[in-house]
Amino acid sequence: MRLSARLSGTAIVLCVAVGGCGAAPTDSAPETPVYVLNLQNSERGRAEQRPANLVLSEFSTMSEVTWRTWGPTRATGAGRISGTWCLPECADAPYAATVTLSSVVPVKGKGYFSRYAVTADVPVQHRPEADLAGVLPTP
C-alpha cells in the first residue's frame, strides 16, 4: 500500500511538472499589417494592400500591377508606369516596370510603405524627367 501511495504521489508530481512546462515560447509577435496610401480615385487616399493601380506621386502612376511580394518590410510588383513626364507617348502605351515599396513607418497601429523605386526601360529622352524613385504619402 505504501508503494502504491508513493507511486501515485510521484505520478501527480510528474503530471504537474510536465503540464506546467507548457508549449515552448515563440519569439514571433503578430505582424503589423502593412499598407500603401493610394491616391488613385481618392483625394484623401485609401489604405490598400496589393493595389492593381497605384499613384506613386503627382507625376507617376503604376497600372496593371501584379504583386510578387508584400510585406513586412518591402513589396515588389510588376506592371506599367506612366506619368506627366512621358506624355503623350505613354498615355496609350505605358512602359513595363517593376516597383519596389519600402521604408515602413507606423501610423495608428498599421505600417505604411513610405518610399518607392521603379525600374523601367524608359526611352532616353524621358530619363532626365522620369519620376522613378521618391517618397510615398502616409496618413
pLDDT tens-digit readout, 95-138: 999 999 999 999 999 999 999 999 998 888 888 889 899 999 99
In degrees and rounded to multiples of 5, residue 4 shows phi and psi of: -65, -40
Domain count, the chain: 1
The reply to whether the predicted model has a pTM over 0.95 is no
Taking residues 73-81, report their average pLDDT: 98
For 37, 52, 55, 58, 94, the CA distances from 2, given in Å and listed in that order, are 73, 75, 80, 85, 87
Please report whether residue 70 resides in a domain: yes
Confidence bin at 2 (pLDDT 50/70/90)? low
Please report whether residue 26 resides in a domain: no
Please report whether residue 65 resides in a domain: yes
- Residue 89 CB-half CA count within 13 A: 9
Please report whether residue 12 resides in a domain: no
Pick 73 or 5 by higher pLDDT.
73
Cα-Cα end-to-end distance for the chain: 73
What would the pLDDT profile of 20-45 be if each residue is shown by its tens digit?
555 554 555 557 799 999 999 888 89
